């Protein structure tokens, strides 16, 4: 393989795709993905967002229309409802798509800390106070 062929392959290679899936607007997950992507070169990944997800079928339809052969793909998601989160994870696993659940572990830890059951309602509450230190 010549240097020219290597340069051409690099030039024509599509950037990896990160799909953000959310049951609300997706700003939280998108912010995390953007912060992580900022640690790499400009345009190192393409971010696509699927918001207001209520069913795994919605995810399947989106994936069917947005997966390109030979383009690396990963999914980051913030799905509140446990069964939907599980079903999406199973679908992604079945397709061999790496994924990161950004919200489930956080809900579990806060539930353990508070001793309360989560509400499992998507969307951001604005009455939570964050203290600056």
Residue 48 within a domain? yes
94: domain range? 13-114
pLDDT in tens, 64-105: 998 898 999 999 999 999 999 999 999 999 999 999 999 999
Residue 57: the pLDDT is 98
- Write down the H helix ranges in 1-119: 3-12, 27-37, 56-66, 82-95, 104-114
Q: How many domains does the chain have?
A: 1
pLDDT in tens, 19-28: 999 999 999 9
CATH number, domain of 108, equals 3.40.50
Residue 51 within a domain? yes
The partner residues of 77 in beta bridges, in order of sequence, read 21, 101
Residue 85 within a domain? yes
Residue 72 within a domain? yes
């Amino acid at each position: 393989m010549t240097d020219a062929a290597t340069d051409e392959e690099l030039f024509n290679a599509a950037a990896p795709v990160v799909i953000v899936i959310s049951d609300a607007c997706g700003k939280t997950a998108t912010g995390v993905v953007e912060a992580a992507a900022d640690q790499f070169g400009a345009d190192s990944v393409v971010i696509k967002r699927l918001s207001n997800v209520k069913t795994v079928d919605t995810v399947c339809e989106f994936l069917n229309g947005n997966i390109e052969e030979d383009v690396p793909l990963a999914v980051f998601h913030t799905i509140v409802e446990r069964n939907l989160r599980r079903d999406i994870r199973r679908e992604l696993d079945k397709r061999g798509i790496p994924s990161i659940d950004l919200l489930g572990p956080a809900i579990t830890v806060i539930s353990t800390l508070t001793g309360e059951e989560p509400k499992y309602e998507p969307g951001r509450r604005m009455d939570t106070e964050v203290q600056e230190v």
